[in-house]
Chain A
Amino acid sequence: MTQQQMGIVGIVDVDVAFETGTLKGCSYFFGNGGPFGSTGLGTDHLVSVVHGTSWSDGSQAAQQILNLVIVGVTSLPTTLPRNYAHIQAALSSSRRAGESRAVLQVVPFGTRVLLDQTGHRLSGRGVSEDDDVAQVPPIVTDITGEAVEQQIIFPAQYGSPDLVNGGWYWSATIATSRPGIWTYTLHVLLQRPRAGADVSAEWERLTLTCDASLDIRNHPMRNGFTGAGIGFLPMELQS
């Protein structure tokens, strides 16, 4: 069965979301289905068009998969390794220790390291209001809604097998047998260090929800050579 994977990217202004208590107006979703009819790109409600195909007996002919990644608007680029903060912490510790060349030292497991938006480590003590902290990417904790209840999508959370770039992401297979517009709800956990507190002790947390939709379309699968069922190949020699 042929497979098509689609990527959805969400950017959330975490600070504004904490202040307003909603993701409306401060989250921006994108997918690469723009040329194929998706709408709402750059808004808080993305409508992804999914072009399904089915065989004449109604069974699904191709598999569509959605992959979802969410970042904060001031988060570090996702092309950096996920443990970049720890690498920076280890390098800066070894420099303070007077090493003439950077030697990676072990950073205790579970240490929360904060970087600014250009990847430099913050003081590590209190976080002040003036600190330019790179937002910690929001975490999607669940996907619910009619699209899930009606078994249009089957979402699951995955961990990347890559230890360096590892992280959680969500993926969903899509059943395209029922055309129409189906809505799903993302549950998003936002976290940020509380200004003034000891970084290792206090974090604010807030779970908010955000809706998006799938516009499922279904086309019967036809043979490309005949327009109907299978037939002879139009084999001719080149003149």
Chain B
Amino acid sequence: MPVTVNIVVAVDVIAALSHRSPEGSVHMMDDGPLPGRNQGTAQLITWCQPGWQINWTVQQVDLQTPAVIRGIRFGAAPQRIAGSLPFAEDLSETFVWSGIVPPDVVPGLQYRYAIDIEMARGSNSILTVDTASLVVPIPCDVETSK
């Protein structure tokens, strides 16, 4: 049965812009059938299986501030170049960040990813959170929620 896991990245935009760091201003949560570890932190570990769909959304804690996900990069993917975007013709386009876990993922290994969150525009507008990961559990290694 296809399973969807939603990962919400809650951002306190004013705090993130003030301190230029995800520390204390980014809180990630997922709702998968196997609850992830470190819920509410920037170090979320989300359990998944090949074939599952993962959706990422951002939610501003201070509602009237703008925040969008500008990129999600795994592993050795090219470093984000400031201002460049994967496909957008103009900066005002937004994207949906969803994908299927591929079949060749190695169980037990942490697939770290980086999320670029853009808040307003300018030299300090992009916050990168690179401490979360996806993991396929090794059979008989399924943890109960902590």
Contacts and interface: CB of A to CB of B under 8 A. Distances in A.
Direct contact of A and B (CB under 8 A): yes
Interface of A: 2-7, 32, 35-37, 49, 51, 53, 61-62, 67, 217, 219, 221-227, 230-239
Given A7-B64, A235-B105, A237-B111, A224 B96 contact: yes
Closest CB pairs A-B (n = 9): A236-B75, A224-B95, A233-B99, A227-B87, A35-B121, A232-B102, A7-B64, A51-B92, A224-B97
Contacts of B59: 2
Given A36-B92, A226-B99, 16 more contacts: A2-B58, A51-B93, A51-B94, A222-B87, A222-B95, A222-B96, A224-B95, A225-B72, A230-B98, A231-B99, A232-B100, A233-B54, A233-B134, A235-B113, A236-B76, A238-B76
B63 interface: yes
B90 to A, nearest CB: 8
Contacts of A7: 64
Nearest to A230: B98
B14 interface: no
B122 A230 contact: no
Contacts of A2: 57-59
B86 interface: yes
A224 B99 CA distance: 9
B24 interface: no
Interface in B14-29: none
B92 A223 contact: no
Chain B interface residue count: which class? 35 or more
Interface of B: 53-54, 57-59, 63-66, 69, 71-72, 74-77, 86-87, 92-102, 105-106, 109, 111-113, 120-122, 134
Q: Which of B59, B95, B105 has the most CB of A within 10 A?
A: B95
Nearest to A37: B92
A49 B121 CA distance: 15
B100 A233 contact: yes
B122 A35 contact: yes
A223 B95 contact: yes
A141 B60 CA distance: 30
A221 B95 contact: yes
22 contacts: A2-B59, A5-B63, A6-B64, A36-B66, A36-B92, A36-B121, A49-B92, A51-B94, A67-B64, A219-B92, A222-B87, A222-B95, A224-B72, A225-B99, A230-B98, A232-B102, A233-B74, A235-B105, A235-B113, A237-B75, A237-B109, A239-B75
A224 B68 CA distance: 12
B88 to A, nearest CB: 8
Residue among B76, B86, B99 facing the most chain A CB atoms (10 A cut-off): B99
